[in-house]
């Protein structure tokens, strides 16, 4: 299944049915009178969060959603049926924006959550509704009210407890494949990851959800590489794990490159708690590792963790550091359920501080 995190959709709720003008004419009925029924209400357009979805790919093949109109009223006091509602299924973390792509209409954060995006028009009254003691034969009825129509944007922001950031080939996909059952594509060339990946990580009897996004390069906020469009998927994370490649030319410069893109992105990512880790330590000599650690420490102003996704050295410590920040209030629903019966988090490690301090 392809990954799609943004889609433009046209929606229209149903029009209300018209009221009916009719009079009762039956044999052996001494008194007739108005008998026009009311029109039915038009169908609503409802958006619902469905469990198990993780992409908006369905909305690439269908962009128009129109609810049926209400049935017109009929004689013999027969009211029209209401139009059926249309229910649009979206994954958890979906946001609905107006056509201007800036006005937020609704943000879905819970499975099963529903939101009426467009209400159907009310049905019109038939002439039987207007009968009074002084107006016994009304010959007027109301038309049904029109439904609502609009273009909207659906934007998906994956809900995860922790997020992986770093330059391309920093070892993010390898790290995710080691600590979870996720199977991201891994290769020895840049931009192997083309769309975000999620994995459920278990450590010390507890679980949390880890998100891996495509790598950032200098100028990503201006569209370089894959751009920064995927950074929205780590906006909801409580903590970021910043992986820096120990085999890179200069670990400090690599850190500052990604850090600059996070600050340029308008999503409050610069204020999130960050854990810095020097990855691929098994691929460099002890002398080079010492130099890279010192460079990264000067750039990040904190002592980085030393890890290797291949040999798994330092990986448990990194996961515990993430878990300590996530604490007892994880973002993901699955992690919430997993933590209800889990022990308390360990004391916060000294290897992290909020960014910008």
CATH number where 118 lies: 2.70.210.12
Domain match, 284 and 341 both: yes
Top mean pLDDT of 34-43, 45-54, 133-142, 254-263 is at 34-43
Instruction: Examine the domain organization and report whether 104 and 121 are in the same domain.
Output: yes
Give the pLDDT confidence score for residue 128 in this predicted structure.
Answer: 92
Q: How many domains does the chain have?
A: 2
Task: Indicate if 146 and 215 belong to the same structural domain.
Answer: no
The annotation status of 82 as a binding-site residue, yes or no, is no
- Annotated ligand binding at 133? The verdict is no
Distance CA 195, CA 185 (A): 10
pLDDT in tens, 236-255: 788 888 888 888 888 888 88
Structural contact between residues 18 and 36, judged by C-beta atoms closer than 8 angstroms? no
Q: Is 288 annotated as a binding residue?
A: no
Domain end marker among 156, 171, 200: 156
For the chain, report the end-to-end CA distance as a whole number of angstroms: 41
Query: To which residue do tokens 């199977």 refer?
Result: 183
Q: Does 177 lie in the same domain as 318?
A: yes
Q: Is 171 annotated as a binding residue?
A: yes
In a domain, residue 246? The reply is yes
pLDDT for res 175: 86
Mean pLDDT value across residues 93-100: 91
307 is in an annotated binding site: no
Same structural domain, 228 and 145: no
Residue percentage of the chain with pLDDT more than 70: 82
Whether residue 157 is annotated as binding a ligand: the answer is no
Write out the residue range of the structural domain in which residue 106 sits.
6-156
Average pLDDT, the chain: 81
Instruction: Please check if 86 is assigned to a binding site.
Output: no
Amino acid 228: pLDDT: 57
For the cut 60, the answer to whether the pLDDT of residue 92 exceeds it is yes
Asked whether residue 1 is domain-assigned, the answer is no
- In this structure, the answer to whether residues 336 and 291 fall within a common structural domain is yes
Least Cα distance to 60 among 102, 116, 1, 119 occurs for: 1
Q: Is 168 annotated as a binding residue?
A: yes
Same domain, 44 and 173: no
Residue 123 has pLDDT above 90, yes or no: yes
- pLDDT-wise least confident of 162-171, 292-301, 327-336: 327-336
User: Mind listing the pLDDT tens digit for each residue in 179-214?
Assistant: 887 666 565 545 555 567 778 888 888 888 888 877
Whether the predicted pLDDT of 267 surpasses 60: no
Cα–Cα distance measured from residue 325 to residue 275, given in angstroms and rounded to the nearest whole number: 9
Question: Is the sign of the CA dihedral 289, 294, 296, 302 positive or negative?
Answer: positive
Judged against a pLDDT cut of 70, whether residue 141 lies above it is answered with yes
Residues 188 and 275 grouped into a single domain = yes
Say if residue 198 is in the same domain as residue 297.
Answer: yes
Judge whether 191 is annotated as a binding position. Answer: yes
Which has the minimum average pLDDT: 147-151, 169-173, 229-233, 298-302?
A: 229-233
The residue among 141, 156, 171 that closes a domain is 156
Confidence band for 217, pLDDT divided at 50, 70 and 90: low
- Residue 265 or 278, more confident: 278
In a shared domain, residues 10 and 137: yes
Q: Is 44 annotated as contributing to ligand binding?
A: no
The two beta strands, 239-245 and 162-165, are: parallel
Q: Which of 134, 156, 178 is the last residue of a domain?
A: 156
36 has a pLDDT exceeding 60? yes
Structural tokens at position 280: 């691929």
Average pLDDT of the segment spanning 257-278: 80
Q: Is the pLDDT of residue 351 over 70?
A: no
Q: Is 308 annotated as a binding residue?
A: yes
Any domain includes 185: yes
Is 193 labelled as part of a ligand binding site? yes
Percentage of the residues of the chain whose pLDDT score is greater than 90? 31
pLDDT confidence of 335, banded at 50, 70, 90?
A: very low
Do 230 and 295 belong together in one domain? yes
pLDDT over threshold 70, residue 84: yes
Check whether 94 is labelled as a binding-site residue: no
pLDDT at 83: 95
Domain CATH number, residue 207: 3.40.50.300
Q: Is 310 annotated as a binding residue?
A: yes
- For residue 103, being part of any structural domain is answered with yes
SS3 for the chain is CCCCCEEEEEEECCCCCCCCCCEECCCCCCCCEECCCCCCCCCCEEEEECCCCCCCCHHHHCCEEECCCCCCCECCCECCCCCCCEEEEECCCEEEEECCCCCEEEECCCCCCEEEEECCCCCCCCHHHHCCCCCCCCCCCCCCCCCCEEEEEEEECCCCCEEEECCCCCCHHHHHHHHCCCCCCCCCCCCCCCCCEEEEEEECCEEEEEEECCCCCCCHHHCCCCCCHHHHHHCCCCEEEEEEECCCCCHHHHHHHHHHHHHHCCCCHHHCEEEEEEECHHHCCHHHHHHHHHHHHHHHCCCCEECCCCCCCCHHHHHHHHHHHHCCCCCCHHHHHHHCCCCCCCCCCCCEEECCC
Residue 205: the pLDDT is 81
Is the domain of 41 the same as that of 103?
A: yes
pTM of the model: 0.69
Beta carbons of 127 and 34 less than 8 angstroms apart: yes
Please give the pLDDT value at position 182. Answer: 66
Residue 205 resides in a domain: yes
Residue 267 among known ligand-binding residues: no
185 is in an annotated binding site: no
Any known ligand binding at 123?
A: no
309 is in an annotated binding site: yes
Q: Which pLDDT band, with edges at 50, 70 and 90, does 349 fall under? A: very low
């Amino acid at each position: 299944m392809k990954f799609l995190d943004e889609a433009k959709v046209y929606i229209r709720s149903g029009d209300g049915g018209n009221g009916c003008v009719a009079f009762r004419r039956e044999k052996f009925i001494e008194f007739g009178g108005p008998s026009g029924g009311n029109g039915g209400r038009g169908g609503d357009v409802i958006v619902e969060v469905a469990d198990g979805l993780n992409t908006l790919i369905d909305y690439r093949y269908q962009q128009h959603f129109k609810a049926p109109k209400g049935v017109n009223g009929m004689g013999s006091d027969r009211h029209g049926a209401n139009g059926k509602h249309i229910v649009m299924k979206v994954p958890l973390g979906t946001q609905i924006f107006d056509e201007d792509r800036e006005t937020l209409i609704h943000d879905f954060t819970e499975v099963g959550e529903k939101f009426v995006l467009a209400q159907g028009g009310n049905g019109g009254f038939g002439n039987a509704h207007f009968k009074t003691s002084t107006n016994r034969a009304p010959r007027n009825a109301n038309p049904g009210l029109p439904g609502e129509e609009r273009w909207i944007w659906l934007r998906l922001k994956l809900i995860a407890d922790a997020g992986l950031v770093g330059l391309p080939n920093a070892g993010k996909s390898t790290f995710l494949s080691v600590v979870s059952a996720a199977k991201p594509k891994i290769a020895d060339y840049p931009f192997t990851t083309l769309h975000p990946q999620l994995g459920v990580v278990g450590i010390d009897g507890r679980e949390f959800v880890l998100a891996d996004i495509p790598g950032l390069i200098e100028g990503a906020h201006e569209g370089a590489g894959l751009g920064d469009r995927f950074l929205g998927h780590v906006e909801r994370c409580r903590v970021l794990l910043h992986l820096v490649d120990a085999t890179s030319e200069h670990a400090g410069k690599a850190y500052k490159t990604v850090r600059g893109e996070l600050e340029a992105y308008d999503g409050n990512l610069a204020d999130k708690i960050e854990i810095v880790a020097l990855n691929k330590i098994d691929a460099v000599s002890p002398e080079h590792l010492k130099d890279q650690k010192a460079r990264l420490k000067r750039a990040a102003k904190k002592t980085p963790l030393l890890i290797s996704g291949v040999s798994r050295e330092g990986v448990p410590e990194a996961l515990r550091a993430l878990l300590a920040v996530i604490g007892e209030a994880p973002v993901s629903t699955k992690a919430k359920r997993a933590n209800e019966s889990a022990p308390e988090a360990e004391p916060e490690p000294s290897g992290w501080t909020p960014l910008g301090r």
